Amino acid sequence: MSAPGSLRWFALHETRLAWRDWSWLMTRGGRRRGGGVVLGFLAFLGFVHGLAYLFMTHSTRLTGSADGKELVVVAGMMALTFSAMLSQAMESVTRAFYARGDLELILTSPAATARLFAVRIAAIAATIFCMSLLFAAPAINVQAWLGGAQWLRAYLVVAALAMLAVSVAIAVVGALFRLIGARRTRFVSQIVAAVIGAAFAIGLQFVAIVSFGTMAVPRFAVLERLALDPNAAILWPARAVFGEPAALLSLVGLGVLALAVTIGVFAPRFGALALAAGGVAQVARKQRRSAPSFRGGSPAQALRRKEWSLLTRDPWLMSQTLMQLLYLLPAAFLLWRSFFSEAGVAAFLSPILIMAAGQLGGGLAWLAVSGEDAPELIATAPVAAAKVLRAKTEAVLLGVGIVFVPLVAMLAVVAPYAALVSLFGVAVAAGSATAIQYWFRAQAKRSQFRRRQTSSKVATFAEALSSNGWAGAGAVAVSGTWLAVIPGALVLAMLAGVWWISPARNTSAG
């Protein structure tokens, strides 16, 4: 037994909460047997390890010799992992500051709250580490199986990167608090997190366009082209993975030191920052009167206006939308560069546009269809359910159109046929994602957007398959062959199957 209020006691408390939260996510709050969840998890692990094995045995094998090419490939992977970790850490830290949860209970208790916050900062680092392992562990384990146990030291490198990411994230969010205040920090840090998450991958694509004139080059060839200094910091994690003792020790030491300093500096201040964040909720936000009078119109117009107001005022959605747009920036840049040329960019751009439209459409559709904060108000209004759905769908498709139509118009100047294919693809991808969200709609608060992907795993996979499938069909269609009907038909068949098992069909059939 640990003494109440001790570091260990808080750590046990946090572990229990984290476990319950994870169990709830896995079982969706139901009473499914724990054994089923464990079996499902083991099956998932087997699947991702199998994928990693297939990939690694069919690509160039890492030998462990720290020659230029292998080093650059691993350095690129580590940099991508770190940018994703940093993005996730910023999200987690921002949520920790702003979530009320048990904060008032803790801050009004006589316990030494710095200890709890020390545990919470460490817990964020542990969570980021575990989340990264979902993708990194299969690769590390398979490489260790194929190349020897020495590759397992990559776990230490991932742990060090996680500690560094959390330290940087807390420092950035703390600095934002000081610079722009608690109110703006929430929104800005979400945007920064989205930008960081995409920055490295997008940066590589920009460099690829400038260096090679296309995005279609092996991703890490760009790093090779940069002719990095052998001692460049970006190569450290790779050197550590390859077993250079100095690099490994430095990286792990830096991670531990950074986290210790962060805990030492921020744990005693965490409560004050969280209180400042909490104070934001007490301050009323004045809305500038953009329209001095009521606008009237039909119920459908009122619904569309409402959806648009809510979509544009949702900071989380804004950052998610920005993320989609960020990934489109290289595509737009490439278009701009080849604006007056006949460069064959269409085959590459069309699927990117279609896939992004599907993803954006799915997110917007969830907010419009499932994320209704006043469902009873809508249900008691004298408007038929079909009309409500149509108005909401129009709001979603209009949102997708505003983002993608200008890009398609630019493409039309360079390649009219590809633009036509893209326009059709954007419409069907966004429409399919909206339909899936409608079939699997489950009433929820908009604030639950983060958990939308756990509410129905079938819907989540179907949405991803549909976006990727339409993108594939678009890529084939742009090349001018009728074979595009094959992936198109496959996606339609998948959609039909998903509709068949969806709650919407079963409800209407029942």
Partner 1 sequence: MLEKPSPLALRIRGLAKSFDRPAVDGLDLCVPAGEFYTLLGPNGAGKTTTMRMVAGLLAPDRGAISIFGVDALADPIAAKRIMAWVSDEPMLYDQLTPLEYLDFVAGLWGVEAKLAQTRAQDLLSWLGLAPHADERCGQFSKGMRQKLALAGALVHEPKFIILDEPFTGLDAGSSRVVKDVLRERVRAGCSVIMTTHILEVAERMADRIGVMAKGRLIADGKLDELRQRAGSGDASLEDTFLALVAQDRIAA
With CB under 8 A as the contact rule, the residue among 233, 289, 342, 482 that binds partner 1 is 289
Burial 267-284 (b: 16+ CB within 10 A, else e): beebbebbeebbeeeeee
Q: Is 287 in the site for partner 1 (CB under 8 A)?
A: yes
∠66-69-71 over CA atoms, to 5°?
45
What backbone phi and psi angles, to 5 degrees, belong to 343?
-55, 140
- 227 or 385, CB closer to partner 1? 385
- 38 or 379, CB closer to partner 1? 379
With CB under 8 A as the contact rule, the residue among 374, 485, 486, 493 that binds partner 1 is 374
Burial 15-24 (b: 16+ CB within 10 A, else e): eeeeeeeeee
With CB under 8 A as the contact rule, the residue among 29, 59, 376, 507 that binds partner 1 is 376
Residue 243: which H helix or E strand, with range?
A: none
Q: Is 384 in the site for partner 1 (CB under 8 A)?
A: yes
The residue written with tokens 């560069």 in the block is 337
Tell me the number of residues near partner 1 by CB under 8 A: 37
CB of 354 to partner 1, least distance (A): 31
The residue written with tokens 């004139």 in the block is 213
Q: Which stretch binds partner 1 (CB under 8 A): 237-245, 277-285, 357-365, 466-474?
A: 277-285
CB of 430 to partner 1, least distance (A): 23
Contact 361, 404 (CB under 8 A): no
CB of 322 to partner 1, least distance (A): 18
With CB under 8 A as the contact rule, the residue among 230, 296, 340, 342 that binds partner 1 is 296
Query: Could you give the C-alpha distances from 246 to 237, 241, 252, in angstroms and in order?
Result: 11, 11, 10
Round to whole Å and give the CA distance between 402 and 455: 28
Residues 6 or more apart whose CB falls under 8 angstroms from that of 244 comprise 66
Residues 6 or more apart whose CB falls under 8 angstroms from that of 11 comprise 119, 122
CB of 28 to partner 1, least distance (A): 21
With CB under 8 A as the contact rule, the residue among 80, 234, 378, 458 that binds partner 1 is 378
With CB under 8 A as the contact rule, the residue among 377, 402, 496, 509 that binds partner 1 is 377
Round to whole Å and give the CA distance between 266 and 121: 9
Contact 209, 330 (CB under 8 A): yes
Q: Which stretch binds partner 1 (CB under 8 A): 30-38, 236-244, 280-288, 464-472?
A: 280-288
Q: Is 294 in the site for partner 1 (CB under 8 A)?
A: yes
Residues 297-316 that bind partner 1 (CB under 8 A): 297-299, 301-303, 305-306, 309-310, 313-314
Q: Is 367 in the site for partner 1 (CB under 8 A)?
A: no
Q: Is 379 in the site for partner 1 (CB under 8 A)?
A: yes
- C-alpha torsion 421→426→429→430, nearest 10: -160
CB of 431 to partner 1, least distance (A): 25
CB of 35 to partner 1, least distance (A): 28
- 58 or 288, CB closer to partner 1? 288
DSSP tag of 444? -
Q: Is 506 in the site for partner 1 (CB under 8 A)?
A: no
Q: Which stretch binds partner 1 (CB under 8 A): 156-164, 183-191, 276-284, 467-475?
A: 276-284
Nearest alpha-carbon partner for 163 in 238, 237, 245: 237
Q: Is 510 in the site for partner 1 (CB under 8 A)?
A: no
Nearest alpha-carbon partner for 496 in 505, 485, 483: 505
CB of 189 to partner 1, least distance (A): 19
Q: Is 178 in the site for partner 1 (CB under 8 A)?
A: no
CA terminus-to-terminus distance, the chain = 54
- CA-based radius of gyration for the chain: 25
Q: How many CB atoms lie within 10 A of CB 476?
A: 20
Q: Which stretch binds partner 1 (CB under 8 A): 27-35, 282-290, 486-494, 501-509?
A: 282-290
With CB under 8 A as the contact rule, the residue among 1, 227, 233, 284 that binds partner 1 is 284
Query: Could you give the C-alpha distances from 227 to 78, 192, 203, in angstroms and in order?
Result: 18, 29, 16
- 115 or 304, CB closer to partner 1? 304
Query: With helix as H, strand as E and coil as C, how does 93-123 read?
Result: HHHHHHCCCCHHHHHCCCCCHHHHHHHHHHH
CB of 282 to partner 1, least distance (A): 7
Contact 255, 159 (CB under 8 A): yes
Q: Which stretch binds partner 1 (CB under 8 A): 5-13, 242-250, 377-385, 473-481?
A: 377-385
Q: Is 31 in the site for partner 1 (CB under 8 A)?
A: no
Which residues lie near partner 1 (CB under 8 A)? Answer: 281-289, 293-299, 301-303, 305-306, 309-310, 313-314, 373-384
